Amino acid sequence: MRPADPHAWMLTQAIELLQGANRLHRQFFQLGRAGDLPRWEPPVDMYGNEQALCLLIALPGVAPERLEVRLEQQVLVVYGERSLANDFGAGTILQLEIPYGRFERRVLLPHADFEVVDMLLHNGCLRLTLERLP
């Protein structure tokens, strides 16, 4: 159902189309990447205060043993792999929208030194808590 304001509706539609195009571009058009290099980037939410940061990274279907987290100065790097389920048998894939394979996400942190103090993978999301070092 369209909202009463046609300009708001057009803006909403344009934003959704741009977000979809951006997602498809990241998933399928990464020139120069092949083999073991990352093929997709998970979305990240980040919030915090003066003492700590919390990051929520969407990683549904990623096994904990296929996931790595490291800090490189001002950059948090989350990488790993999501494997295609083996229970498809000999069936034909009719639709494949979820990205599979290696992933990597680099998140630029605010200007401070941090350490990862808590990491929890639950309900398809990785929650990281980083505390600012003195």
- pLDDT string in tens for the chain (134-residue length): 556 788 888 888 888 888 887 777 666 655 444 567 888 999 999 999 999 999 999 999 999 999 999 999 899 999 999 988 777 667 777 888 888 899 999 999 998 899 999 999 999 999 999 999 98
My answer on whether 14 and 47 are in the same domain is no
Q: Which residue has the tokens 């990240």?
A: 44
- List the domain range (segments joined by +) for residue 2: 1-31
In a domain, 90, yes or no: no
What are the phi and psi torsion angles at 113 (to 5°)? -95, 135
Structural domains in the chain (count): 2
d(CA 100, CA 102): 7
